[in-house]
Structure 1
Amino acid sequence: MHRKNPISVLVYNALFPSPSPSDPPCFSAHLSKNLVGEVRIETATFYGSLDTIEARYPGLNYAHAPHRKRLGRFPHHRKLFGAFDRLNLTDSEIQGFCRWEGTLWARERYERDEGVKVRDTTGMEIGEWVDRRRTASSRRRNGINVKTDIEVEIEEVPSSTAITDPVRPVDTEMQDSSEDEDDGDEQVLDESVGFALNQRLMQAAALREQGQDAPMDPEWEQYLKDAQERGEHSIEHLGIAPTLSGGIAAFTNLSEGPSPPTQPYPPVAPA
């Protein structure tokens, strides 16, 4: 593609459309002031030192995408590549234009003048990619297939065998409610029996306070006998002193003992 103006002029105008006094006056000045310094920094960063021929002649190709990515980290090279894209420069135009230190043109000139080939060691440890999927598929096709038959016997459970259901949790709430109902019934029964007995005992005590004789209630006497035989209560524990003449006939309060029981009614005698 033939262009009326030199590429250097087109690139400079693209980089500096309105140059200021601080901007370089031409592309050559911009190259020596800004671009070459960035090339040296990239080369030292990539190779570590300039002791090898490869490091001194890195052969950076400004039309090669990986090299443009490496140099594009620097601001002036990033603007330069943007100008190349806006001008729609071809690869041959870019390679013919980029003829300075560190470029592919400098390496080719060194190889031509010295008669040697600069060995590019970048990526040498990465081997050639081999598609092993085809090899694996061919091995599967040519391999030996082994077919194994497996017999499974299922034993039926006899019908006579009893299958028990799992133990279900006991509803404790229902049992508690039933127990509460039973306790309530017993309490009502005790209150009904003990109330009449308590009334009789209170009447007998009132007669004794008035100096009258009152026989001991037979139910209360029988309860005292049974309780004493079982060892559940003693006479002193109940706070009374019975008078025995062929049996418990009467009782009087202890002279120095505790006061009569303060419970609303004495323990219920068995029916």
Structure 2
Amino acid sequence: MKRQTPIAHLLYNYLYPHPTQNDPPSFSAHLARNLVPEVRIEVATFYGDLNSAEARYPGLNYCHPPHRMRLGRFKHHKRLFDAFDNLGLTYNEIQDFCCWEGTKWARERYEKDEGVKVVDTTGDEIGPFVDRRERIAEDLRRHSITRKTDISVIVEEAQTSRPRQPPIEEDDEEMDDVESDGEPEPETSDASTETEREPPAEVMAREQHIAELEHRREQSIHQRINQHIIRAWEQGQTLPAEIEQYLKDQAERGNSELTRLLASRRGSHAYGAPENTAVVATQASRAAA
């Protein structure tokens, strides 16, 4: 059924119930002054330039919710959409009325006149929708406490399903033997077992290596002590008690290394201070005692 009053008059009376001198006198003036500039701003913002046919003929549908959302950011288009809804205009009435720049009507007219199809590339870079809600729910079930409880129950059932071994009576007998004897067994069973398993050649090589390391360690200690004694002899200092004990042990063992070092130092310091010789003689006599 066709309306008796033109839609342009209905919209203008709804948008401007009490028009002033600053308001447009008709809906056509309102369209040229307010609506078309807002469409141009939206197209320039969305496409960036007008080099493509899609940008020159964007095909904005005033009944399509995404297009309404884009144009609804502007004041005059928002009021226009409210007027459409409150006046109860139908889909066909809106499509027949919206015949200006940038609308769906302008694109269809261009395609009909030029014989081409304007390709809409708005959603080309948007991938297909993947519903991840089931995957998230599956991950939650996988990491939930119920899943862990099921695993623990399975482990317990596996442990209880194993055949029980008969009790070993040897432990009781060994405990009785220990209590009767009252003497603990030596803890050399593990070491002897490991030694028995190793070949004799490896055991001998390991012992030789350990002995060589001990010998090197003793030599380094002796060298440091000898250097300390020689330094004290050169400076005329009194040797500590542990050094005197060391000299005594070396004299009993017949170690002549320190004696040779002192002799070589004494030869190189033939014109040294006489008190050094006295100190060393005193230390040597004390060590011999």
TM-score, normalising length from structure 2? 0.47
Higher helix share: 2
Bigger-Rg structure (1/2): 1
